[in-house]
């Protein structure tokens, strides 16, 4: 299910760290390395006036990263894409569609980041608008002491997966995708109750969700992974983040849409608010499974 992965790169240290991690992906056979050259800003137009030179420079750097992956046994295709207007995420979407990749894997940040911004502009726009499944990576070596060591996530990136679910149709689709990934050893199913008129009503919701997740867990365990169930009440994004730390999960995986999802709706925003908040501030890799892409 992860045989062909698109890796957008800006040649920053962050991008190189992504390459070090994806070589550990189960099932991976082919990598498409992509560098999108966006429109130059006003201050850099003179410096970047020669588009041919920019493409040649990108191709050289792509070749270096290609050798790194080929040395680990992968088939690698490199693409240098230039756009004259719009956001870099449009170029990423174009190549993802053309190459029919199963996943986009990229760093949460890249060049020119500001210390208190947790999600770079390109990653943010890919998260919001691009249709493919998306894995966002993060590393404390580049972001300060709040993060966790790179090795924590790269040795077995899919070994222990936290899967928050709102019990919606897209969430069911997402868990089917997760179950199909090799080397998933444990799945932690989580549901957060965030509404209720009274404590009695909230407790009823917690009890109902627990029954549903326990039944789902038994089905998942038939496929091999161990399953734990956790149901609580509170703010979804906060509860998810706290449980990820408490359980020391290697990955948070979420469906892209929640209860408001409707098939055929306008594709202007492809990720729900909780998934966006988690991806924006999580201190570990986050996988967003896009609704309708894996059926």
SS (H, E, C) 195-251: CCCCHHHHHHHHHHHHHHHHHHHHHHHCCCCEEEEEEEECCHHHHHHHHHHHHCCCE
Give the number of other Cβ atoms within 10 Å of residue 12's Cβ: 17
The answer to whether 230 and 224 have CB atoms below 8 angstroms apart is: no
The SS3 call for residue 187 is strand
Last residue of a domain, one of 79, 109, 140: 140
pTM of the entire structure? 0.85
Q: Do 178 and 116 share a structural domain?
A: no
Average pLDDT over residues 20-27: 85
Percent of the chain scoring above 70 in pLDDT: 81
Does residue 237 lie within any of the structural domains?
yes
Query: Tens of pLDDT along 150-201?
Result: 455 577 889 999 999 988 888 888 998 998 888 899 999 999 998 877 889 9
Most confident of 117-126, 183-192, 280-289: 183-192
Checking if the pLDDT of 23 tops 80, the result is: yes
- The rounded Cα 157 to chain-centroid distance in angstroms is 12
Report the DSSP beta bridge partners of residue 37: 82
Q: Which pLDDT value is given to residue 49?
A: 59
**Same-domain status, 14 and 46:** yes
Q: How many domains does the chain have?
A: 2
Give me the CATH number covering residue 243. 3.40.50.620
Paired sense of beta strands 134-137 and 286-289, if any: antiparallel
How far is 46 from 167, CA to CA, in rounded Å? 53
pLDDT at residue 105, rounded to an integer: 94
Quick one: 179 and 249 in the same domain? yes
Q: What is the DSSP letter of 77?
A: E
Q: Which domain holds residue 90?
A: 4-140
Q: Is the pLDDT of residue 96 over 70?
A: yes
Q: Are residues 175 and 129 in the same domain?
A: no
Rounded Cα gap, residues 292 and 295, in angstroms: 6
DSSP 39: P
Could you tell me the pLDDT band of residue 139, with boundaries at 50, 70 and 90? low
Q: Are residues 214 and 132 in the same domain?
A: no
In the predicted structure, residue 275 carries a pLDDT above the cut 90: no
Please report whether residue 226 resides in a domain.
yes
For 215-260, the pLDDT digits (tens) are 999 999 998 899 999 999 999 999 999 999 999 999 999 988 754 4
Assign residue 155 a region (left: φ > 0; alpha: ψ between -120 and 50; beta: otherwise): alpha
Residues 218 and 263 in one domain: yes
Residue 161 exposed, middle or buried by CB count within 10 Å (0-12, 13-18, 19+): buried
Closest by Cα among 138, 136, 142, 140 to 123? 136
For residue 147, tell me if it sits in a domain. Answer: no
Going across the sheet that includes 134-137, the strands are 75-82, 30-37, 4-8, 103-107, 134-137, 286-289, 251-255, 160-164, 186-193, 226-233
Question: For 34-70, how does the pLDDT look when each residue is reduced to its tens digit (9 = 90+)?
Answer: 999 877 644 444 445 577 888 899 999 999 999 999 9
Same domain, yes or no: 74 and 202: no
**Same-domain status, 168 and 121:** no
Query: Is the pLDDT confidence value at 145 over 50?
Result: no
| pLDDT for position 244 | 94
Does residue 146 form part of some domain? Answer: no
The segment with the largest mean pLDDT, out of 4-18, 30-44, 258-272, is 4-18
| Alpha-helical regions (H) of the chain | 13-22, 51-70, 88-99, 121-129, 140-143, 150-154, 169-179, 199-221, 236-247, 273-281
List Cα–Cα distances, 40 to 30, 47, 81, in angstroms.
31, 9, 14
């Amino acid at each position: 299910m992860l045989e062909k992965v698109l890796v957008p790169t800006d040649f920053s240290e962050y991008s190189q760290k992504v390459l070090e991690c994806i070589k550990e992906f189960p099932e991976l056979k082919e990598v498409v390395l992509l560098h999108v050259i966006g429109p130059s800003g006003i201050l850099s137009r003179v410096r970047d006036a020669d588009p041919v030179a920019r493409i040649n420079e990108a191709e050289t750097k792509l070749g270096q990263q290609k050798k790194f992956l080929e040395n680990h046994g992968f088939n690698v295709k490199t693409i240098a894409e230039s756009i004259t207007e719009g956001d870099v995420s449009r170029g990423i979407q174009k190549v993802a569609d053309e190459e029919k990749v199963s996943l986009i894997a990229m760093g949460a940040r890249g060049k020119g980041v500001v210390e208190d911004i947790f999600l770079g502009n390109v990653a943010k726009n890919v998260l919001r608008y691009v249709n493919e499944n998306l894995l966002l990576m993060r590393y404390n070596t580049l972001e300060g002491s709040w993060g966790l060591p790179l090795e924590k996530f790269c040795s077995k990136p899919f070994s222990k997966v936290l899967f928050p679910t709102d019990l919606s149709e897209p969430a069911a689709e997402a868990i089917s995708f997760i179950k199909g990934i090799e080397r998933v050893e444990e799945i932690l199913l989580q549901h957060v109750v965030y509404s209720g008129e009274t404590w009695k009503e909230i407790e009823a919701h917690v009890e109902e969700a627990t029954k549903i997740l326990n039944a789902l867990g038994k089905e998942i365990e038939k496929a091999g992974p161990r399953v734990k169930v956790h149901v609580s009440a509170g703010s979804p994004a906060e509860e998810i983040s706290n449980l990820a730390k408490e359980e020391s999960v290697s990955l948070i995986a979420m469906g892209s849409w929640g209860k408001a999802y409707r098939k055929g709706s306008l594709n202007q925003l492809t990720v729900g608010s909780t998934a966006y908040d988690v991806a924006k501030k999580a201190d570990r890799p986050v996988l967003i499974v896009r609704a309708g892409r894996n059926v």
